[in-house]
Structure 1
Amino acid sequence: MGKKKWIQTLAAGLVLMLLSTYFYTVNSSGLFYFVEGPLHDSLRKAKSIDERQPEDRIKIVKIDEKSLKAIGKFPWDRTTYAQLIEKLEESGAAAIGIDVVLAEPSKNPADDKALADVLAKYHNVIMPVQINYPSKQQQAGDLIPEKVDYPTPSLTTNRQQMAHINVFVDKDGKARKLPVGLPDENGAYIPAFSVALANLVLDDKNKVQRDAATGQWKSGDIVLPTNEKNQVTTEFFTLPRQKVDATTGYELLSFVDVLNSKKPLPLQGSIVLVGPFVTAMQDEYPTPISSVKMFGIEIHANMIQTILESKYYKDASKPLGVGIILLMSLLAIFLFERFKGKTALFIFLGMLVFYGGMWLLCYTAGSIFLPLVYPQFALVTIYIWSLVSHYLAERKERNRVTGIFGRFVSKTVVDELLQSGEDVKLGGSRKDISLIFVDIRGFTPMSEKLEPEQVIQVLNEYLDVCTKAIFKFNGTLDKFIGDGVMAMFGAPIEYENHPEMAVRAAIEMKSQANVLEQKLIEKYGIGVKFGLGINSGPAVVGNIGSEDLRLDYTAIGDTVNLSARLESNAKPGQILISEQTYERVKDLFEIESIGEIKVKGKEKPVAVYEVIGHL
């Protein structure tokens, strides 16, 4: 094997290795978080019921529909919370968390006084702090608040009874981690709601605290695996809105039932969370374990149990992850250059399986998530490069047909060139043709309402309708222009009736688009229509571009421009044709004149007609 070949292979492999490393380190979760995250989620969802045993000390008092109906519309008087806290304290609750922000003073000072007296009387009650952040921080990783909503001063809540209730979501919108503490406007750390409540029942040596010297959060000798936002992974022990069951969910109590209880409830030593349990109060988040959103109070409850049991699933450190990528890459470069064919394939599959097994072992035995996608991305890309490299070394020349297919899109154009036996050359010829321009009306509003994958699917369906209609009437698909299409009739193969073919194709598009629109309205609640413009006349048709690299078979000229202008003036579902096209098809279709319009590029207004349909 030549030295030059080795150098080329090593250089390409190193580039791919560095690319994988960059993808892994580009941000806290890596560029392929949308693949890596769901893999982690799938393993965590696969845990058995026994492993998801909920902590029976944790109770949730729901602000539910039943309570709202009985007590009245939100917000409630502060005396209501004071009475509830008294009931819970009488029942022996060890810790009480109120997940309702009370940042504004009550209109009745006596209400605030009643709750303030209760908070002063019982030191095991935690009140919420909501920290608000600007849409964009000055630097990545900053946690500088824009505003902090503390309990109103009229409640005279002391700092030890305050905790933040912020829930951060990942890039895919799911809540997987909770910040155990966040800095206030002065840089002093406010513990999480879950941390503050857990600390009320943990002994002193195991309380979760921040080491000011190192910035680490610790529970006794255990260092919590936090990220740059002080988040740790929340282990979910229950599904969203889990009904009470000894083995599947935390005990749920209705707020009004607790308030109206005549005798103490069996809550001795319990951690009681009080919070919204109705969708209308907008305190729910998607989680990785279910398609059903989970209320914030449930997330805090699961986080409390995570802290109590010290069950932290953590990602491998970045240096370890980078080391794994480098090792896998260098080994792959050596083996794939040394071995070819089936041997290389078996080595490739073996490395994939071996690393997958190691990844699973680290998860099950050590609760550590090694990077999975990034080392395998390096492995796959290096293997693919080796295949390409070997192929290019054995076959350097491309035949003429491959060159033709690489330059042209339209099958009609390719067939004509193959039959002619002539080389592809720059230039064109003047031909009488008809042009159609099509654009999707309402595409931008639709793209804002649908998910990106749905937008692509809808766009492909509409473009498929256009393409099939064009080919049905022997047209040539010139190009896709964003969410629009340009097509020509009468070139490269000449047809005398090309204006008729163009109009029939347009009617076909409109008809099929109406069918597709109804289907999309039923599926997504939104549909879009076409706007079409047709013009006929002389244009220069031929190959434009770089003779050595890329050619485009297209048409240019005033005929093309007017067709595009007609399309831009067409209303949704409207087919506009020029006077030149109208004169050639007026006896074949139902057409109405809409008068003259001023179009860009024309000094005088042009006569425009609308095609209604077939006669």
Structure 2
Amino acid sequence: MLSKIIKYLGFIIIISFSALSVFFSLTERDIEDPRIKEKISYTTFFENRFFDFRMRQTLDPKKFDKKLVMADIDDYSLKELGQWPVGRQTWANVIDKLRIYGAKVIAFDVFFAENSMSCGETSVDDIMAQSIVNFQSIPGNKVILPYSLDTQGADHFEEMPDQLYNFVLDTKNSEGIELKPKKVSKAVWPIETLLNTDVSLGHIQVEADSDGIMRHYQLVGNIDTLYMPSYGLQAYIDYTGDSPVLEMLNIGDYKFKLASGNIELNYKGEANVRWFGNERQFPRVSIADIVKAYPEDENMKEIFNNTIVFVGASAYGAYDLRHTPVDPMLPGVYFHMNMTHMLLNGHFYKPQQNSTFLSWAILIGGSLIILIIQFFGNPILDLLSTIFIIGGIYYYDTYHLIPQGYEVKLFFCFFSIICSYSWNTFLHFYLANKDKAFLKNAFGSYISPELIDEMYSTGQHPSLGGDSGTRTAFFTDIQSFSTFSEKLSATQLVELLNEYLTAMTDILLEEKGTLDKYEGDAIIAFFGAPMPLEDHSTRALRVAVKMQRALLVLREKWVSEGDKWPQIVHEMRMRIGINTGEIVTGNMGSASRMNYTMMGDSVNLAARLEEAAKQYGIFTQTSKFTMEDCQSEQFLYRELDTIRVVGKSEPVTTYEILEIKEDASDLLIKLQEIFSKGISHYKAQEWDQALACFKESLELELERFPLLKEKTNPSKIYIERCEQFKELPPPPNWDGVFTLTSK
């Protein structure tokens, strides 16, 4: 219950934080308090930069706007003209040339705030003024000069200069509703000589976002409750003759209506620039080339005819390079050109409320979809769904919504979706590890960590308590272990057993066997519980072969240690009994003390087979039930006998596992073939033929274990039986079953 509360509380926190972040990113620009602005600036930092990245994917580098031309004060011009700032005489020359080349509007991104020093009778300011008059004498032609609002640290006009009354925008507003008030700065106000030429005026006022990038353009300025056009807007008005209207009917609802469409403004009179591109999207001509060009230059006429010419600087020394979403070092005049292009082409953003609605819908809808999908409990489905949702939304936004003018706050939408997925995955991982730790504490002594991990990967948890099923019981015992305690000290005995049991248990757990218990030197184990294993019998036989190999390696090690161990250790042998059948496994014992163990008749038979192996002189004995259940083709084995073990009335056919087939030696293969022929003759009561086979296999038995020549082995046993039956044949109803009289 507590885990569910924590889980859903986490989701609520993630979605709430993301929703608040989207809200703050929408309002941060209008907040004036620097302390609040600083605390929530993280929202616009991530949202705006992520939008910039997506927006850049939609820009078409092949598009080119010939109507807007930059007359560039570049490094080449400064070198050719030999002066900075550029002289008024040069500007007069440029204006005259542009008049000849057919330019319609010249917008100077250059301040003319001081009178020029002049030695002649005619001032260079007058010369430039006359060029402006000549240019504007052509109907529809206009020159625009810039001014500034509220220049930091500079004086401003207490009242609006008279010249600005000619540029007051039409306004419809409700009582008491206005944009942020501004004042006209005296610092860069144009000189009287140029103002008297009836030039147009446009304010240049740019405030970068909190991350230092220029995205918002102040389109109108509130001066004494009268609204003045910006530099870029005035270029649009002079070029088109449009009379736009500013509407402020409700607080926060500020619209600017143009012939090309409507554009939304914020409280500061700013609009978000919808970028067309950088300097590669507009024609550019150096002013030095304009000055040097001939009046009849056809190329210049083709470039400038019926255009708006923006005069600005790209020269590094002019310090007019701006950090923008499309270029971190873009000449500032291109900022204005992008706005004018936007106004001319009606390339506006959709109303903010439309984009906001989509932002909320994606944030809440995407997060809820992820939560619903995670109820299925499939981690692969969770991951693929998260990737698909994010990828689909990203593609739809970048290549469908942004080109249509939507500005969706996608960063925190994705943040909510990814964090919801991550939070659920983290909790699932934590709780799974917690449960796994419990299982490892409960089962770590019995089964391998890999088997516990597999329970989780397959979704099959062990069944606690009594549980019946077909499984394989596994018993091992060291031959004649009682004599070891007579030859070894207690310390040596513990050291020997620990080394032996460690090696054997590692093999058992490696094959996903379950350790039931140790009884002195004996290992009691089973396969197929608590985790079901389809190949439990095959694994048990494979473990038996590996254990016999491991004991051989240990014997060689003990021999190499010289006198540390007595001869009995050097010759240590182990017997293994294996049987497959119906076995009950589970926690058994009292309420206060229990043990995970196995019970059943099949378990008893496995124990009897391990004990009976001694009577045949073999070391690994299994039953017919195991051989029928396992992948027998993997092993080299021989049928040993059909016996009745002590305590059992039903006979069982037993087998000796010789080796894994692909690793079997020629000797073992030959032994298996000859011995099996002998068994066939024995069952057919063909005693002479059987004796011949068993005598031949006896030689191979002795070659297999040369140190055990004095010990019994299966071939010796069958030679004795055949000789007895040859002298005293069995009864007519003989079934070939041999009854063991001792364990």
Q: Mean alpha-carbon deviation: is it higher for 7-16 or for 367-376?
A: 7-16
Structure 1 CA distance for aligned equivalents of residues 198 and 208 of structure 2: 26
Q: 1:169 is matched with which residue?
A: 208
SS of equivalent residue, structure 2 residue 123? helix
What is the 5 A alignment of 1:310-321? 310-313=346-349, 317-321=355-359
* Deviation for aligned residue 1:394: 5.0
Q: Is the 8 A contact 1:60 1:252 kept in 2?
A: yes
Letter in 2 for 1:86: D
Cα RMSD for the two superposed structures: 3.7
* Deviation for aligned residue 1:17: 0.9
Structure 2 CA distance for aligned equivalents of residues 46 and 9 of structure 1: 37
Q: Is the 8 A contact 2:58 2:403 kept in 1?
A: no
Q: 1:191 is matched with which residue?
A: 229
Q: 2:515 is matched with which residue?
A: none
* Deviation for aligned residue 1:178: 2.6
From 87, 95, 98, the equivalent of 2:105 is 95
From 212, 222, 229, the equivalent of 2:261 is 222
Q: 2:24 is matched with which residue?
A: 26
* Deviation for aligned residue 1:308: 1.8
Letter in 2 for 1:127: L
- In the superposition, the TM-score normalised over structure 2's length comes to 0.45
1:74 matched to 2:84? The reply is: yes
Task: Call closer, same or farther: CA 1:288–1:114 in 2, change over 3 Å.
Answer: same
From 283, 286, 295, the equivalent of 1:250 is 283
Letter in 2 for 1:111: V
From 312, 315, 318, the equivalent of 1:275 is 312
* Deviation for aligned residue 1:99: 1.3
Structure 2 CA distance for aligned equivalents of residues 90 and 319 of structure 1: 52
Q: 2:146 is matched with which residue?
A: 128
Letter in 1 for 2:124: D
SS of equivalent residue, structure 1 residue 280? helix
* Deviation for aligned residue 1:38: 4.1
SS of equivalent residue, structure 1 residue 274? strand
* Deviation for aligned residue 1:283: 0.9
- What do the CA deviations read for 1:117-173 (whole angstroms, capped 9, x no partner)? 4545626110011334559xxxxx967568463212343358871112334433443
From 52, 59, 72, the equivalent of 1:41 is 52
Letter in 1 for 2:110: V
Structure 2 CA distance for aligned equivalents of residues 393 and 284 of structure 1: 55
Q: Is the 8 A contact 1:113 1:154 kept in 2?
A: yes
Aligned length in residues: 382
1:378 matched to 2:389? The reply is: no
Q: 1:502 is matched with which residue?
A: none
Q: 2:323 is matched with which residue?
A: 286
Q: Is the 8 A contact 2:247 2:256 kept in 1?
A: yes
Identity of aligned residues (%): 19
Higher relative contact order (CA 8 A, sep 6+): 1
* Deviation for aligned residue 1:203: 4.8
* Deviation for aligned residue 1:95: 0.7
Task: Call closer, same or farther: CA 1:350–1:339 in 2, change over 3 Å.
Answer: farther
SS of equivalent residue, structure 2 residue 323? strand
- In the superposition, the TM-score normalised over structure 1's length comes to 0.54
Structure 2 CA distance for aligned equivalents of residues 118 and 8 of structure 1: 76
Q: Mean alpha-carbon deviation: is it higher for 280-289 or for 187-196?
A: 187-196
Q: Is the 8 A contact 1:59 1:253 kept in 2?
A: no
- What do the CA deviations read for 1:551-610 (whole angstroms, capped 9, x no partner)? xxxxxxxxxxxxxxxxxxxxxxxxxxxxxxxxxxxxxxxxxxxxxxxxxxxxxxxxxxxx
Structure 2 CA distance for aligned equivalents of residues 217 and 183 of structure 1: 14
Structure 2 CA distance for aligned equivalents of residues 221 and 254 of structure 1: 31
Q: 2:114 is matched with which residue?
A: 104
From 173, 178, 184, the equivalent of 2:217 is 178
1:303 matched to 2:325? The reply is: no
SS of equivalent residue, structure 1 residue 224? strand
Task: Call closer, same or farther: CA 1:210–1:79 in 2, change over 3 Å.
Answer: farther
* Deviation for aligned residue 1:100: 0.8
Letter in 2 for 1:355: I
Structure 1 CA distance for aligned equivalents of residues 15 and 258 of structure 2: 38
What is the 5 A alignment of 1:187-586? 187-204=225-242, 208-213=244-249, 215-220=254-259, 222-240=261-279, 242=280, 249-255=282-288, 257-258=290-291, 261-263=294-296, 265-266=300-301, 267-290=304-327, 293-313=329-349, 317-337=355-375, 339-363=377-401, 366-394=404-432
What is the 5 A alignment of 1:131-142? 131-132=149-150, 134=152
* Deviation for aligned residue 1:101: 0.7
Q: Is the 8 A contact 2:59 2:277 kept in 1?
A: no
Letter in 1 for 2:63: Q
- What do the CA deviations read for 1:315-361 (whole angstroms, capped 9, x no partner)? 65434423432333344444435635334334433433343343235
SS of equivalent residue, structure 2 residue 254? coil
Q: Mean alpha-carbon deviation: is it higher for 153-162 or for 323-332?
A: 153-162
Letter in 2 for 1:380: I
Structure 2 CA distance for aligned equivalents of residues 188 and 208 of structure 1: 14
Structure 2 CA distance for aligned equivalents of residues 192 and 106 of structure 1: 26
Q: 1:514 is matched with which residue?
A: none
1:15 matched to 2:54? The reply is: no
Q: Is the 8 A contact 2:68 2:309 kept in 1?
A: yes
* Deviation for aligned residue 1:96: 0.8
- What do the CA deviations read for 1:513-536 (whole angstroms, capped 9, x no partner)? xxxxxxxxxxxxxxxxxxxxxxxx
Structure 2 CA distance for aligned equivalents of residues 341 and 238 of structure 1: 43
Letter in 2 for 1:63: I
* Deviation for aligned residue 1:395: 5.4
SS of equivalent residue, structure 2 residue 209? coil
Structure 2 CA distance for aligned equivalents of residues 146 and 156 of structure 1: 15
Q: Is the 8 A contact 1:174 1:287 kept in 2?
A: yes
Task: Call closer, same or farther: CA 1:225–1:88 in 2, change over 3 Å.
Answer: same
Task: Call closer, same or farther: CA 1:395–1:64 in 2, change over 3 Å.
Answer: closer
Structure 1 CA distance for aligned equivalents of residues 335 and 402 of structure 2: 24
Q: Is the 8 A contact 1:79 1:114 kept in 2?
A: yes
SS of equivalent residue, structure 1 residue 216? strand
Gaps of 5+ in 1: 136-140, 243-247, 400-615
Task: Call closer, same or farther: CA 1:235–1:376 in 2, change over 3 Å.
Answer: closer
Task: Call closer, same or farther: CA 1:374–1:8 in 2, change over 3 Å.
Answer: same
Task: Call closer, same or farther: CA 1:239–1:230 in 2, change over 3 Å.
Answer: same
Task: Call closer, same or farther: CA 1:16–1:157 in 2, change over 3 Å.
Answer: farther
* Deviation for aligned residue 1:177: 4.0
Counting strand residues as a fraction of each chain, which structure ranks higher? 1
Gaps of 5+ in 2: 29-40, 154-178, 438-743
- What do the CA deviations read for 1:168-188 (whole angstroms, capped 9, x no partner)? 43344333443322334x343
SS of equivalent residue, structure 2 residue 25? coil
Task: Call closer, same or farther: CA 1:361–1:300 in 2, change over 3 Å.
Answer: closer
Q: Is the 8 A contact 1:362 1:370 kept in 2?
A: no
Q: Is the 8 A contact 2:254 2:266 kept in 1?
A: no
Counting helix residues as a fraction of each chain, which structure ranks higher? 2
Q: Is the 8 A contact 2:322 2:332 kept in 1?
A: yes
Q: 1:151 is matched with which residue?
A: 190
Q: Is the 8 A contact 1:131 1:164 kept in 2?
A: yes
Structure 2 CA distance for aligned equivalents of residues 165 and 103 of structure 1: 14
Q: Which has the larger radius of gyration?
A: 2
Task: Call closer, same or farther: CA 1:333–1:283 in 2, change over 3 Å.
Answer: same
SS of equivalent residue, structure 2 residue 239? coil
Structure 1 CA distance for aligned equivalents of residues 273 and 417 of structure 2: 31
